[in-house]
Structure 1
Amino acid sequence: MSAADLFDLARDALGGGLLLAGALAALVGAFGLLRLPEFYTRAHAAGITDTAGALGVLLGLAVLSPDLLIALKLLVVLVVVLFASPTSCHALARAAFRSGVRPALDGDRPPPAQPGE
């Protein structure tokens, strides 16, 4: 096995691992969107999922890309996503707060039932 073959094998393994990590982050975030109780926790899950999932997938695609120009374009898209995703999530949460959607705080929930009550 030559050095070029080893390099290609390492590149494929790294790219595949990054793609898998990005897909796993997106899957965990999708479960978070379904299971979390209120708007702000769901918005947090969506923002993290969008950023982490895109990071893994786009980095994996950049590593696996056959051309340097394609990899650079993918990295530019990644930089745009890394700035736009948290900004849009913050804007959405701020708009919801200003329109009257309040977060559920610990003081808003009734205390758990005590034994014997």
Structure 2
Amino acid sequence: MTLDSFLDQLAAIFLVGSGLFSLAAGIGLLRFPDVLARMHAATKPQVVGLMLVLGAIALAERSWTVLLTLLPVLLFQMLTAPISAHMIGRAGYRAGNIDDDHLYVDELDEAIDEAQEERARHERESGG
């Protein structure tokens, strides 16, 4: 077995693995009960699946220019996925789309109560 055929087989394994991670993310989005669980399913396996796809492309092409092109894709995805998941989670929490039975600790409840009290106090002081 030559190095080229080994790298091609490894790229194929990466592609199959990425497909399985993406499938798991899709099933999780359909099956999980609330927005917090769905947000987890949408971000974690999706990023790992993307990493495997980019690794497969890098192994198949074997070029520094391709690798340097793929790195910003991975970097931006890894930067934006957690931020978007955080914002979706907060919006879902505020909209009441979470299952309180699955929360062990609700750290955001206290912060939201304080913010609502602050807003009410500010409205009373400003007369509006």
Q: Give the TM-score normalised by the residue count of structure 2.
A: 0.70
Aligned match of 2:39: 43
- On the 8 A contact 1:29/1:46 being kept in 2, the answer is yes
Aligned match of 2:10: 14
C-alpha displacement of 1:22: 0.9
Structure 1 residues without counterparts, runs of 5 or longer: 108-117
Aligned match of 2:112: none
Could you tell me how far apart the structure 2 residues matched to 1:106 and 1:81 are? 28
Deviations along 1:9-65, one digit per CA (max 9) or x if unpaired, are 111011111111111100111111111112211111111132111111111112112
Aligned match of 2:61: 65
Displaced runs of 4+ in structure 1, greater than 6 A?
A: none
Q: Tell which structure's C-alpha radius of gyration is larger.
A: 2
Deviations along 1:68-115, one digit per CA (max 9) or x if unpaired, are 2012211221121112112211121122223443433258xxxxxxxx
**SS of residue in 2 equivalent to 1:95:** helix
CA 1:31 to 1:73, structure 2 compared with 1: closer, same or farther past 3 Å?
same
Q: Give the TM-score normalised by the residue count of structure 1.
A: 0.76
**SS of residue in 2 equivalent to 1:80:** helix
Could you tell me how far apart the structure 1 residues matched to 2:97 and 2:86 are? 14
- On the 8 A contact 2:25/2:45 being kept in 1, the answer is yes
Aligned length: 103
**SS of residue in 1 equivalent to 2:59:** helix
Q: Flag the structure with higher helix content.
A: 2
% of aligned pairs identical? Answer: 31
Of residues 80, 84, 87, the one that matches 2:83 is 87
CA 1:28 to 1:74, structure 2 compared with 1: closer, same or farther past 3 Å?
same
C-alpha displacement of 1:66: 4.5
Could you tell me how far apart the structure 2 residues matched to 1:63 and 1:86 are? 27
